[in-house]
Amino acid sequence: MSHQPTVIKLKQIPEVLAKEFADRDVVTCYIGSNAATPTACLDAVTAAVKSGTPRLPFLRMVHLLLQGPVSYVEKGIQDRIMTYSIFSTGDVRKAANEGRAFYLPCTLANLESLIGKGRPYQPDVAIFKVRPHEITGEFSLGLSVEAMHTAIDHAKCVIAELDFSMPFTQGQSIVDAQSIDYLVDDDDVKGVYDFPAPDFANLPGAEQRIGELVARHFIRDGVTLQVGIGQIPDAVVGVIKEARPKDLGIQTELYGDGLMILQKAGIVTNRRKKLHRGYSATSLIMGSMELYEYVHMRAGIQMRPCMETNSAEVIRRNSPFVSINTAMGVDLFGNVWADYIDARRYYSGVGGQPDFVGALNDSAYGVPIIAFKSMTDKGQSKIVKVHPSGVSLTASAYDGIVIVTEYGIADLRGLTAGEKALAIASIAHPRFRDRYLKEIYDDALFTKPLGFSLDKTPRGVIFYAGDTKLES
């Protein structure tokens, strides 16, 4: 008879850990992430850590972005349980900035280097959500595959939280019962996290402009897309829907409502992809309940580990490829950063942006676009002279990227350092643009093209030429 997992309640999780690791001082736990964060399991572990009963070893909690409240980052228990976060928001971000959580920089394509066999964070425990198949008895990781198979393969103790609110997704999300040691079946399990769908018809002017620029100049029939999450990627999707290009493909780390809309509309067919032809490939799904209902049992959307969705080889094989991500800012040399605001303020993580930038460094494969509004809500320019000292970069001056703001496009591919500076400054907010251009023009460090003057459009620049008005 094949192995079946032991069914337990939430309150039994600490007892399982205490029993399985009675002889250990330190245990590494890998936690399922994003919309499928197993919050109830994490709360049960935290309660035991705080009470001291049963006695648990020191717990290292390794994970990507966790949604909802993260109870174990509260003050005063870091001598017993500690976060090692590869991507953060909310409670974990605050804890990291206050010295109560570790930020563990790593791109999604390289997670194996952290948690694989014999690696620094090889898991002893894996905790995650699953949805069972009513007929086959198989389990699905649902909304979050990322690096879960690696964690499951190497963990001594595998704990799966049963959650029928999660869709059963296709592809490499399937987990057989023999891989699960303990199945948490409890009425107090919290359902998956869902978020309102964007209002694609009423996007702000700046985001709408960026969407128009990207769609008009880079989206062609048959391209494969990777699109991040947020208002700017949403705007790109909204404009693509109106333009109606044909036979787009999707190869992405995160699939959201916007990509669903394109697939529902028949704009995304995946027919022209060379790899994973016929279906959208993603590692994570996050968005509205409508999205979750759409992906449930749908063969046209299939899950893959992020080591595959973000693999340079896979990305290049699906050329022509367009990658659209955003960032905190860019400097005049073409350096881009996304995980820190400055060296003293941590924000999120590098995610998969460097994976796609690196894979598309050769323009023969496609274009990596970094799109953002030119100015923060506080009136500070997101284009600066030099990147903040001490921050890590998601793209650097030697990467062949395209910058897009609401004022235009700066295609940096093949430009000299001086030409890059002029191009980037040209699409800065008007409040800063003229000063930047004059300083570059007067600075001998930035060698200018022969015969260049400030009344000429720099090489690589395309200014916005539509009619979308900006808010005053």
| Average pLDDT over all residues of the chain | 94
- What pLDDT is stored for residue 230 in this prediction? 76
Q: What is the pLDDT of residue 390?
A: 87
Give the pLDDT mean for 359-367.
Answer: 97
Flag whether pLDDT at 192 surpasses 70: yes
pLDDT higher than 50, residue 246? yes
Distance from C-alpha of 180 to C-alpha of 93, rounded to nearest angstrom: 31
- Per-residue pLDDT averaged across 210-235, rounded? 90
How confident is the model over 375-409, as pLDDT tens digits? 999 999 999 999 998 898 999 999 999 999 999 99
Taking CA 207 as the corner, what is the angle to CA 293 and CA 267, rounded to the nearest 5 degrees?
45
Locate CATH 3.40.1080.10 in the chain. 6-184
Answer with the residue of higher pLDDT: 59 or 343: 59
**Cβ-count burial of 98 within 10 angstroms (0-12 exposed, 13-18 middle, 19+ buried)?**
exposed
State the pLDDT at residue 451: 82
pLDDT tens, residue by residue, 45-63? 999 999 999 999 999 999 9
| Residue 134 scores a pLDDT above 90 | no
Beta-strand relationship, 125-132 and 102-103: unpaired
Sequence-ordered list of residues with C-beta below 8 angstroms from that of 1, at least 6 positions apart, any chain = none
Task: Dump the DSSP string for 328-348.
Answer: SEEETTS-EE-SEEETTEE-S
Of the chain, the percentage scoring pLDDT greater than 90 comes to: 86
pLDDT at 355: 97
Check residue 386 and give its pLDDT. Answer: 94
Which segments within 283-379 are labelled E, that is strand? 284-285, 301-303, 321-325, 329-331, 336-337, 340-342, 345-346, 366-371
Note the pLDDT tens digit of each residue in 62-104: 999 999 999 999 999 999 999 999 999 999 999 999 999 999 9
Residues 6+ apart with CB under 8 A from 321: 223, 224, 225, 226, 251, 315, 359, 360, 365, 366, 367
How far is 235 from 328, CA to CA, in rounded Å?
A: 18
**Predicted confidence band of residue 1 (pLDDT cuts 50, 70, 90):** very low
CATH architecture of the domain with residue range 6-184: 3-Layer(aba) Sandwich (3.40)
Query: What residues are annotated to the active site?
Result: 253
Do strands 81-85 and 58-63 pair parallel, antiparallel, or not at all (unpaired)?
parallel
State yes or no: pLDDT of 184 exceeds 90.
yes
How much is the average pLDDT of 275-295?
97
Position 472 scores a pLDDT of: 65
User: What is the mean pLDDT of the segment spanning 104-109?
Assistant: 95
Opening angle at CA 325, ends 406 and 463, nearest 5: 25
Helix (H, G, I), strand (E, B) or coil at 430: helix
Share of the chain above pLDDT 70, in %: 99
**Cα–Cα–Cα angle for 425, 381, 213, rounded to 5 degrees:** 60
- 200-463 CATH, one of 3.50.50.60, 3.40.1530.20, 3.40.1080.20, 1.10.1240.10: 3.40.1080.20
Residue ranges matching CATH 3.40.1080.20 in the chain: 200-463
Q: Is the pTM of this model over 0.85?
A: yes
Average confidence (pLDDT) over 353-357: 96
pLDDT attached to residue 233: 81
Task: For residues 39 and 128, give the distance between their C-alpha atoms in angstroms, rounded to a whole number.
Answer: 9
Q: Distance between CA atoms of 205 and 468, rounded to whole angstroms?
A: 6
